[in-house]
Amino acid sequence: MKISESFYQQSNVVKIAKELLGKQLFTNVNGLLTAGTIVETEAYSWKERGCHAFENKKTKRNAVMFLPGGFSYVYLCYGIHNLFNVVTNTAGVGEAVLIRALEPLIGIDTMQTRMNTKTPKRITSGPGKLTKALGIDRTLNGKYLLDDEVWLEDSGTKVGNGKIIASKRIGIDYAGKDADLLWRFYIKGNIWVSKT
């Protein structure tokens, strides 16, 4: 069952990041269906420096972060990697959750082909890798997550609080003290979590 708009439009982005663990991310790109269970996320809010929408500053790149919750935000990082985010909160508030790692579920053959590898090992264990495996690029920026190109589903199984680890976010040292926020969440012991 697809996750409803009301889930994405909650005002607490950190809570949403935590609750997205165990949910499933689907894409249907070029007629190929792929999906994976979310095992690692990070929260980003306009209130802190790590966020592209810091101080609610709107630019051409981050414009979709100011749409109401329930849209995708895909951007290019380091000139090489597409990173996939879920926009949250209400219109005009720049908040989003970065999906950092998945456990492959559907279309593993397709993912292996896209990653040019013969084994499913670690094909989705990192934010730049899972987008490639699922065929996500910037043409999927600003898509409505209740449509049929990219969407999230609730599997019904809940990840217990005792299985969720909170830690510092990765790669935002430039954010000063905001880099110390424990806004990265992952499932304890899961082998698909990105290594750092």
Partner DNA sequence: TAGAGGATTGAT
Partner DNA sequence: TCAATCCTCTAC
Q: Does 98 bind DNA (CB under 7 A)?
A: yes
Instruction: Tell me the site size for DNA, rule CB under 7 A.
Output: 36
Residue 62 in contact with DNA, rule: CB under 7 A: yes
| Residue 160 C-beta: closest distance to DNA, Å | 26
Which segment (69-77, 147-155, 159-167, 181-189) binds DNA by CB under 7 A?
69-77
Interatomic CA distance for residues 76 and 108, integer angstroms: 24
**167 CB neighbour count, 10 Å cutoff:** 14
Residue with tokens 């409505």: 144
Answer yes or no: are the C-beta atoms of 179 and 11 closer than 8 Å. Answer: no
Question: Is 53 within 8 Å of 94 (Cβ atoms)?
Answer: yes
Asked if 76 is part of the footprint of DNA (rule: CB under 7 A), the reply reads yes
Q: Does residue number 42 form part of the binding site for DNA (CB under 7 A)?
A: yes
Dist. CA 115–CA 34, nearest whole Å: 13
Measured from the CB of residue 93, what is the shortest distance to DNA in angstroms?
13
Q: What angle do CA 8, 193, 50 make, to 5 degrees?
A: 55
With binding defined as CB under 7 A, does residue 77 bind DNA? yes
Among 108, 128, 146, 163, binds DNA (CB under 7 A): 128
Helices (H), the chain: 5-8, 13-19, 108-115, 127-133
Strand partners, 34: 27
Q: Which residue matches tokens 């996320």? A: 41
Q: Which residues pair with 29 in a beta bridge?
A: 32
Per-residue binding letters, 159-188, with DNA (x by CB under 7 A)? ----------xxxx-x--------------
Asked if 36 is part of the footprint of DNA (rule: CB under 7 A), the reply reads no
Write out the residues near DNA by the rule CB under 7 A. Answer: 42, 44, 50-53, 57, 59-62, 65, 73, 75-81, 83, 85, 96, 98, 122, 126-129, 138, 169-172, 174, 194
